[in-house]
Structure 1
Amino acid sequence: MARQKLSIQQKTTEEKTLKEGFKEFTTHCKIKNLAEKTLVYYQAYFTKFETFLESISIKHIGEITKPTIDNYILHLKEETEVNDITVNTSLRAVRAFVYYWQSLGYCPHFKIMLIKADKKMKETYSEHELRLLLEKPNMKDFAEYRNWVTVNFLLATGVRVGEFVNIRIEDILINEAVVKIKHGKSRRERHLPLSKTITKVLIEYMGIRNGEADDFLFCNSYGGKLDENSCKHAISRYNKLRGVTKTSLHLFRHTFAKNWILNGGDIFRLQKVLGHSSIETVREYVNMFSDDLKRNFDDFNPLETISREKGNYINIPKKGAKR
């Protein structure tokens, strides 16, 4: 009787459909209190994975094997305009729910390895572009003025767009020169120092913006919350009007990190400021900006600075010279 029950249970496991399994995975994620963005990410890549599986006549989770994933990688690489980094982004999602199914015994155990991918140089705003963007506009146009403050804030803090749009007026502690970031990727609140310049900009902006303590700091023209898409479109238009073709908000984060490193900031503090859980992510910035680090290297190199002092060098005798 026990053997018969086990057989029925095994059959049920093997016939678990993809949709049923993903529904269970989604419930598992919600119980873990994962961010809504993460759930959307998993849903998007599950749909893509499911479409591929259906094209090769796989309908049940129990049919997924290591060769299945290998074929999926080849399928992704054959897609137009899909680079290695995009392939890995997809694999990370697939790995999450396949590993969950493996833990429940829905499919065989095997490892899903990411492919080797060349790290591309992170694009940043040049000094010339920043000067164009930081030129103060006519303050009578609130939207234009708010966009200028946005550029100042993103460049001064390096925060993510999702963090930026969720900052409330009460999160700005002017007397302490600190901003509270409560909606970070890691879901951990962190406090970022505010430089003297951005503090002055915020004091002026909040005097014009007004609003209650629990209102969002950066609002639309009607006082409502400025969502991510609206913010992206606003800054895209703002940049183009100033002759800057780059429009990505995330580039301000890259620019912040690059200049932090070039100005001698340590990567451990940078990790805390940017809110990265791993130091390895921050190390990538150092590797990617290695060419920039060579700039004025002699001015900071201790051997060079000491050797400039009189007498701190060695005269090598010429061949044949008397000693």
Structure 2
Amino acid sequence: MNDIEFQLDNFMLYCSSKNLSRKTLSSYEQTLKLFVAYLNREFQIDEVKKVQSGHIRQYVKYLRERGKYTVVNKEESKLINRPENRKDFKKEISTTTIANYVRNIKVFFNYLYEVEREIPKNPVEKLENPKVERKMKKTLTPDELKRVFGQFETSTFHGYRNHVISRLLLDTGMRIGECLSILPEQVDFQHKSIHVINTKNKQERFVYFSYKSANELKQWLRYKDRYSSSPFLFPTTKGTQLDVRNFERALRVAGERVNIHIHPHQLRNNFAKYYILNGGDWFSLCRILGHSSVEVTQKAYLDFSDEEIARKYQKHSPLTFMDEMK
């Protein structure tokens, strides 16, 4: 193990000690191992103190040119994963993905410079972030949402379960991973709330559901208890915890049947958009979504179309309210 590999391993231990999510840890490790392999292959660099900002800029240029899945950390993995069979093999890597790579590299070198003092100069101190063009999050209409939800076969266990999950995600703004880990005892019907424990940022919080969801959840629990003794609110037919990817696939297929592109996080996005459009405030939305600050929430959901802003204006026009007060 050379110096840069040792420092990477030490960084991963440090991140694990901070109780970061598996997804974050995996993102760091995958990104940094590919970067380390590039440094060794192209510049024969095996010490962290030899890495300069120019090397990182060259890597960004290389990422823009090489295409998806053309490079792996271990060549033998190609025999198992067969990246050449993917539909997006060699396609251009998105600016968003490259920006995530740069962010992870920055975290690593900031750690080496500020925490461990392993490098005399920080190569990412003045490194520019790739400019990401923001894409407006599509707001699905109530009719589109109903059409998707209507594709689930509610006479089957898994179809009924997926139907209830989809509507609950839209009603609460939960992340799909949070939803699938819920136990029935976390649901409080009196206060119409769910105690979310398995969160992205490890901060427990409460989300809230409507009268409609309350009735649907009660009906679902009665149904589930007839056919499953699983401790999970939304188990598989075998009683185990439902995998996120399996639900993502089921929702995507439901959308494809009515020519609507949809994924679980889009339901969270739509919850946030409709919450604000219907008169909700940013502070309470921030709390419900589990964001660290109102600024984070606004940055994520501030992209309203002109039509949406026009509709919201009509609800809150000062002159309209003034006339109503006469």
TM-based fold match above 0.5: yes
**1:208–1:307 Cα change, 3 Å:** closer
Q: What letter corresponds to residue 247 of structure 2 in structure 1? A: C
Match of 1:96 in 2: 107
- Per the TM alignment, residue 90 of structure 1 is displaced from its structure 2 partner at its CA by 1.0
- Per the TM alignment, residue 299 of structure 1 is displaced from its structure 2 partner at its CA by 4.5
Measured in 1, the distance between the counterparts of 2:280 and 2:296 equals: 16
Match of 2:256 in 1: 240
Measured in 1, the distance between the counterparts of 2:298 and 2:152 equals: 36
Measured in 2, the distance between the counterparts of 1:154 and 1:233 equals: 15
Measured in 2, the distance between the counterparts of 1:86 and 1:55 equals: 22
Measured in 1, the distance between the counterparts of 2:298 and 2:23 equals: 25
Residue pair 1:133, 1:148 contacting (<8 A) in 2 also:
no
Measured in 2, the distance between the counterparts of 1:118 and 1:140 equals: 44
Residue pair 2:193, 2:207 contacting (<8 A) in 1 also:
yes
Match of 2:74 in 1: none
RMSD: 2.4
Show CA shifts across 1:146-176 (max 9, x none): 1110111111111112211111121111222
- Per the TM alignment, residue 303 of structure 1 is displaced from its structure 2 partner at its CA by 3.0
- Per the TM alignment, residue 267 of structure 1 is displaced from its structure 2 partner at its CA by 0.8
Q: What letter corresponds to residue 94 of structure 2 in structure 1? A: N
**1:138–1:69 Cα change, 3 Å:** closer
User: Could you tell which deviates more after superposition, 251-260 or 125-134?
Assistant: 125-134
Show CA shifts across 1:101-148 (max 9, x none): 223233322414423322211133222211213448654311111111
**Percentage identity across paired residues of the two chains:** 27
Match of 1:61 in 2: 48
Which protein shows a greater Rg? Answer: 1
1:47 to 33, 41, 48: 33
- Per the TM alignment, residue 283 of structure 1 is displaced from its structure 2 partner at its CA by 1.1
Q: What letter corresponds to residue 96 of structure 1 in structure 2? A: V
1:169 to 159, 184, 188: 184
2:59 to 54, 68, 72: 72
**1:99–1:201 Cα change, 3 Å:** same
Measured in 1, the distance between the counterparts of 2:112 and 2:2 equals: 10
Show CA shifts across 1:26-73 (max 9, x none): 111122222222211111111221232123222221111122222222
Residue pair 1:147, 1:238 contacting (<8 A) in 2 also:
no
**1:85–1:165 Cα change, 3 Å:** same
Other structure's SS at 1:180 match: strand
- 1:216 is the counterpart of 2:235: no
Match of 1:273 in 2: 288
**1:225–1:308 Cα change, 3 Å:** closer
Match of 1:263 in 2: 278
- Structure 1: 4+ residue segments shifted above 4 A: 307-310
Other structure's SS at 1:295 match: helix
- 1:25 is the counterpart of 2:14: no
Q: What letter corresponds to residue 35 of structure 1 in structure 2? A: S
1:231 to 247, 250, 256: 247
User: Could you tell which deviates more after superposition, 108-117 or 37-46?
Assistant: 108-117
Match of 2:122 in 1: 109
**1:301–1:34 Cα change, 3 Å:** same
TM-score (normalizing by structure 1): 0.83
1:198-209 alignment, distance < 5 Å: 198-209=213-224
Q: What letter corresponds to residue 302 of structure 1 in structure 2? A: P
